[in-house]
Structure 1
Amino acid sequence: MSQKVRWGILATGGVAERMATDLAALEGAEIVAVASRTEASAKAFAERFGIPRAYGDWAGLVADAEVDVVYVATPHHAHREAAGLALEAGKAVLCEKALTLNSGEAEELVALARDRGRFLMEAMWMYCNPLVLRLAELVRGGAIGEVRTVQADFGLPGPFAADHRLRDPAVGGGALLDLGVYPVSFAHLLLGEPDSVQAHALLSPEGVDLNTGMLLGWESGASALLSCSLVADTPLTASVTGTEGRIEVPRGFFFPERFTLHRPGREPEEFTATDDPLTFRHEAAEVMRALRAGETESPLVPLDGSLAVMRTLDAVRERIGVRYPSEQAVHVSDR
């Protein structure tokens, strides 16, 4: 691979725009192509970001010999198809979260990447954030003793119209896959896959979740109280409490500017970000590091971890009664 890592962007929505902006500011990254379902959309995106080639179909992008890695920024329902197409064409893939609609699709995608020996990573940018990594390091190092509780929420006030993507079950709409994946992934980061899952939700007339509460449990006795919402502006905070202290993360826990460590008999310790936390640059840099090192997955966002998160999301959907039209069956581990 050349010194520069050459990116292709698949889809042209808001998240793709953010990634294109951040890649343009990342040393060693070069966006060489973009693809959309329509040529007009791809060309408009290419002109906006100075990208040399635009394709009106996905096949053209994945066949481009100058593309090293494809960033999949489609809605959830298309992740399996788009990422699979790129992997089969021999490309490395960074795929937006949630990795797929369900754990069955995720297992297929991971198996394909491993069979082809190609790099695949879920775009869980929170896991690549330096301050989140520092928080996890403190917890794993015993700074707060044994973890007993985790709390995290992600809610938007809405309202979202009935025809909005977030309320469309055909594309994996609802609060869970777009927003709930963050608090669930935060709990997984600190405690691993839960041993039990309980959930309750308010569903829309279309059949997607508008407001979901989750209670995850571990055999260690730890629990996580998590929520996501499309109808309430929640605090967007997180905390983790152990037997010897707690860590509190203020609003924007998945791109934190700071967090505070509290321990009995000591002054609170504040940890602050050293650069702009609201960026995709850290995850893109991790992809490029891994590719240059010849790795097929990232230790920061391991594929087995992404599969575990998908199993938990499936379990939540089973509890609240949400199934997407394309699913013949929801794959849920026996809990």
Structure 2
Amino acid sequence: MQDEDVVLYCHYSGNVSCVKEVRGAAVSLILYILAAGAVMITFSGNLVVIISICHFKQLHTPTNILVLSLAMADFLVGTVVMPFMTIQSIESCWYLGEIVCMVYTMSLAFLTTVSMLNLAVIAIDRYLAICSPMFYTIRITVRFACYCVVVVWLVTLSYISAMVFSNGNTEGVIGVDPCPGDCVFVLNLTWGTTDLVCSFIMPVSLMVTLYTKIIIIAKRHAKAISVQQRVQLHNNMPPLKKSEAKASKTLGIVVLVFLLCWLPFYICTILNQFISYPVPSFVFCACLWLAFLNSGINPIIYALFYPWFRKSFRFLVTFKICSHGSSLFKLLNES
């Protein structure tokens, strides 16, 4: 038998184990370097967002509290999920045991759902800010936004715990795979359908609907302003602030990029679970990586569109953030 005909298994126990993909040392090194770069960008970028919003008092707004929640979820993706996903993807075998597998898969499901729900709440926040500015100014406070964040995280934790530990998930449970030596997210048909609807279809439908209405209202405001009808617009509604419009545009881009990154993964999931079309493992792995690379893209979007992010970053790298009274620095205009 020639060397190229040799088949390696993850646990070398014959046909009952997963087949190990053999890669050259140079290829593995390049993949590890690329993955390490993605992890560092995700880690450092979201850490800047977290420190900025927590430290600078001017950034303590309801919208930024929601952005902080999203950045925290992305930060945990970079520190908890992506390192394990790197080892699993490159080595093509799982060597870290069942307990770590359970933690890894639960974290993956939990943080994915938290991010999706955070974006849905951000869409509601932007809709109220644009379409009901008087109500938004009076009722939506930083404390209320904090309550919303706590509810999102607790509801998601309860949902994922029910998914993992309930008896309704006996046909396929997280961390179990017909091929020993792997660590995958396996759900039965009932939970698979429930998760698809609750974690993707419903939040996405809400986001698309609200941002479509935001675009329509924003165009209406712009048209009214162009013909000098600010006072008559929507029964004496105050004109739309530039800051609110820009924030909505930026967060709309965040939502769009999120959907573009996650849509291929959910398409693969639908093909696997509901149509019984076997998606090649490398395609599924590539879609999963594209989805989680979104956690590193968000800070780049903030850097491109948020002046406060760039100013905060300069304060961080120059250590001005350590000076007395730095929390009162002005990062944006009050207009």
Pick 1 or 2: higher relative contact order, CA cutoff 8 A, min separation 6: 2
What is the TM-score when the length of structure 2 is the normalising length? 0.23
What is the TM-score when the length of structure 1 is the normalising length? 0.23
Q: Which has the larger radius of gyration?
A: 2
Query: Would you tell me which structure has more strand in proportion to its own residues?
Result: 1
